[in-house]
């Protein structure tokens, strides 16, 4: 039985990265929330850092939407669920509007969501109109309007508005003396910014909205397939210890939800605080993050290192993704060239580099089905260990990340999106067999 719900939806996109999509989406979410609106925010494509900021801005969990990794059916289900208890749904796009396969434009057109184009107007005026028309017509997409970011003055804003012709200027955001800070993987983590809520409030105050144009946008009716197939509780009764702190923070909320639906109980602990793997854990999950920024602390966390080595010796299944894998290598060389000893379960050395080593969607074909996800890292792994498998890059269909197996440990740079194949996930957290 299908269910329908409606809300005002907007996909926030741009001509490229760096235009201010996250800043604008966060400012708009905070502004609407302060107006008493029920706001839900989603992020297009694989991402861990932007959702942390957006969650703080909106005050609600931020899930991923993606026609390939998440899938059209689940994406529609998530949107319809959100529409049932939200007044406004904001979807932050990825990269430029038409970048990627599938792109943000593909997502918008699949679900009939209007697009708001964020344009960095700091070095343009009338040309903003040409860019906006190109973004609208290239696909085309249903362009609700433009938000001009980094405008210098009211006169500058008026020049941009005049250039829009038949495209509404939905709002403007002035040049920011303080914006959301960044580092090599994108934005810093939300908990690292001590004045984040004040900054978000300030951005919301600066955001000028054309209320007439905003009110003219109709609500979108979303049909929920309502056929979310129940997941067999293959992990019922099992306790999974999950590392969660500033070094291990790249964790999809959907992955935790998937583990719960598989019947598992999740136990969280902090290697950075030198906490041991919980003694009653049946398996361990080490997600990605920034171990390279905390290498000294992790190298001195003797209790944590001993506990994960003991867990491995006891054949507890261990799943380590990207940063989690890095923390289990013999050594980690940080960006300054300093070498730090890690847990030493995975033979090899991980070295940071200034250039991006991998970026994009990938899939692992297992005996249980295709487990989808992505890779995004600035380090490389040197190991004599032979991979037990490789992911496949999408859509190029070429070899991707190696997947290593050492006893009960499965490790890779690959970040898996668990709901894409719960059966494969369950097999990883049961006693180790070849997936």
Residues 294-325: pLDDT tens digits? 999 999 999 999 999 999 999 999 999 999 99
- Give the torsion sign (CA, 239, 241, 242, 246): positive
In the DSSP assignment, the letter for residue 189 is: P
The residue with greater pLDDT, 220 or 345, is 345
**Could you identify the residue written with the tokens 């406004």?**
88
Quote the pTM value: 0.92
Q: What phi, psi does 308 have (nearest 5°)?
A: -75, -30
Q: What integer is the mean pLDDT of 94-109?
A: 96
| Contact assessment for residue 20 and residue 173, using Cβ atoms and an 8 Å cutoff | yes
In this structure, what token pair is assigned to residue 229?
């197939």
Whether the predicted pLDDT of 275 surpasses 60 = yes
Distance CA 70, CA 45 (A): 8
Mean residue pLDDT across the chain: 92
Q: For residue 184, what pLDDT band results from cuts at 50, 70 and 90?
A: very low
The CA-atom distances, in angstroms, between 7 and each of 116, 286, 304, 360, 384 are 16, 37, 47, 31, 54
Q: Is 421 a catalytic residue?
A: no
In this structure, what token pair is assigned to residue 97?
């509007």
**Could you identify the residue written with the tokens 């979108």?**
220
Q: Which of 258, 266, 322, 421 is catalytic?
A: 322
- DSSP sequence for 417-431: -GGG-HHHHHHHHSS
Q: What integer is the mean pLDDT of 382-394?
A: 96
For residue 2, the model assigns a pLDDT of 57
- The ranges of the chain annotated as CATH 3.40.50.300 are 3-224
Q: What integer is the mean pLDDT of 10-35?
A: 95
Distance CA 70, CA 4 (A): 20
The DSSP element (H or E) to which 74 belongs, if any, is: helix 72-83
Sheet holding 379-382, edge to edge: 339-341, 329-333, 346-352, 379-382
CA dihedral 125, 127, 132, 134 (to 10 degrees): -170
The strand pair at 186-187 and 182-183 is best described as antiparallel
Whether the predicted pLDDT of 192 surpasses 80 = no
For residue 434, the model assigns a pLDDT of 44
Assign 205 to helix, strand or coil. Answer: helix
Q: For residue 195, what pLDDT band results from cuts at 50, 70 and 90?
A: confident
The CA-atom distances, in angstroms, between 215 and each of 136, 168, 210, 218 are 20, 12, 9, 8
The DSSP element (H or E) to which 371 belongs, if any, is: strand 369-377
Q: Which residues of 73-107 are buried (b: 16+ CB within 10 A; e: fewer)?
A: ebbbbbbbbbbeebebbbbbbbbbbbbbebbbbbb
Strands (E), 245-368: 265-269, 283-286, 318-321, 329-333, 339-341, 346-352, 358-366
The superfamily (CATH) of domain 3-224 is P-loop containing nucleotide triphosphate hydrolases (3.40.50.300)
Q: For residue 423, what pLDDT band results from cuts at 50, 70 and 90?
A: very high
Q: For residue 180, what pLDDT band results from cuts at 50, 70 and 90?
A: low
174-183, 219-228, 349-358 — most confident range = 349-358
What distance separates the 2 farthest-apart alpha carbons in the chain? 69
For residue 215, the model assigns a pLDDT of 86
For residue 224, the model assigns a pLDDT of 81
Distance CA 270, CA 279 (A): 14
Whether the predicted pLDDT of 1 surpasses 60 = no
Distance CA 283, CA 312 (A): 10
Distance CA 357, CA 147 (A): 33
Q: For residue 179, what pLDDT band results from cuts at 50, 70 and 90?
A: low
Task: Evaluate whether the domain defined by 239-429 bears CATH number 3.40.50.880.
Answer: yes
Helix axes of 104-111 and 72-83: crossing angle, nearest 10 degrees:
60
Q: For residue 171, what pLDDT band results from cuts at 50, 70 and 90?
A: very high
Q: What phi, psi does 396 have (nearest 5°)?
A: -70, -20
Whether the predicted pLDDT of 183 surpasses 60 = no
Whether the predicted pLDDT of 369 surpasses 90 = yes
- The ranges of the chain annotated as CATH 3.40.50.880 are 239-429
Measured in whole angstroms, the distance separating CA 181 from the mean position of its chain's CA atoms is 17
């Amino acid at each position: 039985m299908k269910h329908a719900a409606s809300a005002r939806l907007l996909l926030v996109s741009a001509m490229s990265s760096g235009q201010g999509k996250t800043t604008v989406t966060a400012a708009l979410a905070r502004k609407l929330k302060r107006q008493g609106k029920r706001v839900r925010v989603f992020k297009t494509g694989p991402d861990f850092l932007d959702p942390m900021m957006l969650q703080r801005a909106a005050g609600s969990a931020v899930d991923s939407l993606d026609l390939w990794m998440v899938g059209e059916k689940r994406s529609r289900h998530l949107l319809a669920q959100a529409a049932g208890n939200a007044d406004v749904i904001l979807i932050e796009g990825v990269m430029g509007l038409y970048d990627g396969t599938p792109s943000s434009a593909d997502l918008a057109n699949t679900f009939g969501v209007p697009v708001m184009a964020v344009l960095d107007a700091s070095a343009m005026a009338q040309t903003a109109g040409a860019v906006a028309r190109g973004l609208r017509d290239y696909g085309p997409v249903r362009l609700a309007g433009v938000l001009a970011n980094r405008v210098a003055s009211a006169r500058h804003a008026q020049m941009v508005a005049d250039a829009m012709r038949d495209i509404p200027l939905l709002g403007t955001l002035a040049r920011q003396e303080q914006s959301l800070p960044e580092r090599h993987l994108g934005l810093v983590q939300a908990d690292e910014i001590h004045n984040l809520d004040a900054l978000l409030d300030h951005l919301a105050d600066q955001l000028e909205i054309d209320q007439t144009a905003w009110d003219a946008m109709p609500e979108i009716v979303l049909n929920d397939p309502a056929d979310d197939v129940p997941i067999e509780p293959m992990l019922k009764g099992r306790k999974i210890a999950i590392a969660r702190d500033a070094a291990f923070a790249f964790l999809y909320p959907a992955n935790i939800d998937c583990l719960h639906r598989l019947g598992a109980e999740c136990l969280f602990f902090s290697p950075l605080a030198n906490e041991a793997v919980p003694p009653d854990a049946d398996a361990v999950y080490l997600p990605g993050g920034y171990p390279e920024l905390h290498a000294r602390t992790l190298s001195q966390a003797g209790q944590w290192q001993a506990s994960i080595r003991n867990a491995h010796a006891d054949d507890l299944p261990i799943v380590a993704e990207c940063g989690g894998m890095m923390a289990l290598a013999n050594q980690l060389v940080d960006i300054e060239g300093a070498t730090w000893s890690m847990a030493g379960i995975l033979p090899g050395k991980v070295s940071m580099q200034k250039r991006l080593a991998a970026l994009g969607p990938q899939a692992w074909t297992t005996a249980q089905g295709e487990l989808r996800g992505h890779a995004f890292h600035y380090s490389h792994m040197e190991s004599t260990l032979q991979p037990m498998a490789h992911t496949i890059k999408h859509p190029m269909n070429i070899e991707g990340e190696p997947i290593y197996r050492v006893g009960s440990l499965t490790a890779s740079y690959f970040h898996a999106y668990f709901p894409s194949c719960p059966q494969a996930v369950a097999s990883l957290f049961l006693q180790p067999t070849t997936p």
